[in-house]
Amino acid sequence: MSQPLPSLEVCLSPALLHLFHTKNTITVIIDVFRATSTIVAALDNGATKVIPVSTVEECIALGKAIPNSITAGERDGKVADGLQYGNSPSEYPVSFVKGRSLVLTTTNGTRLLHMVNEASEIITGSFPNLTAVCDFLVQQNKNVLLACASWKDRFNLEDALFAGAVAQKVAEHFTINCDSARACMSLDSDAKGNYFEYLKRGAHYKRLSGYGLESDMIYCTTPDIHPVVPILKGNELLIHS
């Protein structure tokens, strides 16, 4: 008899995380606009590691302690006081980040990352590493939880759309008995591969384009431009090899 397929589930908000098993599960942290897009951009462009932290204070302290580091993070769409750089993936080209450590504070993504600490592996996903994430999940052959960072616990369209794109691509390798996953797959069907266009109907499009960040959103929704998998080791995100 063949082995049953591992399960794939989607958690639409950190406020629902208690309803899911994260133990012995690969958890994919999804924060498309923009934390998990920026993380994969920095690592693929040569950063030695990304250290996600919750507060600006921690970010400043770690930045002082770690040689050749960059401190980054935004609050309300602006570089936070005391930090050097923002949360835009395009701020981290090879010429800038190669060989350096990025200490990044984000609100939603980092919080979720710390909430799932029982997971067997924690990786991060966004459109720039869509296929790399899918390939990793299929190879591992374990239960998967796609965990949307959302926006202050409110469901958001971009994280759910990415979860749907992953679920759709790996569906034949998993048992999907999770209505959230099925709903996300409908988002993916409705988007027909035009992720950025689809997300123009979302609340974040309005907020971020108000900050002049439309080009960031195009970057964050472009598939497979950074085909690597950031994986958490201790408190550091590194490229899975």
Residue whose CB is less far from its own copies, 173 or 207: 207
**Residue 146 main-chain phi, psi, to 5 deg:** -90, 115
Q: Which of 56, 61, 138, 183 binds its own copies (CB under 8 A)?
A: 183
Binding-site size, its own copies (CB under 8 A): 27
Least separation in angstroms between CB 206 and its own copies? 7
Token pair for residue 12?
């639409």
Burial environment of residue 64 by CB neighbours within 10 A (0 to 12, 13 to 18, 19 or more): exposed
Before 201, cis peptide (omega within 30)?
no
Q: Which positions ≥6 away from 40 have C-beta within 8 Å? A: 89, 124, 126, 128, 129, 226, 228, 230
Among 7, 135, 140, 155, binds its own copies (CB under 8 A): 155
Give the strand pairing for 8-11 and 144-148. Answer: parallel
CB of 9 to its own copies, least distance (A): 10
Question: What is the helix (H) or strand (E) element at residue 232, kind and residue range?
Answer: strand 230-233
Candidates 102-110, 130-138, 185-193, 215-223; binding stretch for its own copies (CB under 8 A): 185-193
- Binder of its own copies out of 23, 154, 175, 218 (CB under 8 A): 154
b/e burial code for range 145-154 (CB count within 10 A of at least 16 → b): bbbbbbbeee
Asked whether position 16 contacts its own copies by CB under 8 A, the answer is yes
Part in contact with its own copies (CB under 8 A); list of ranges 72-80, 118-126, 146-154, 222-230: 146-154
Q: Which stretch binds its own copies (CB under 8 A): 53-61, 104-112, 134-142, 178-186?
A: 178-186
List the structure tokens of 62.
């770690």
- Candidates 130, 202, 217, 226; binder of its own copies (CB under 8 A) is 202
- The residues that touch its own copies, with contacts defined as CB under 8 A, are 12-13, 15-16, 19, 152-157, 160, 177-180, 182-183, 186-187, 189-190, 201-204, 206
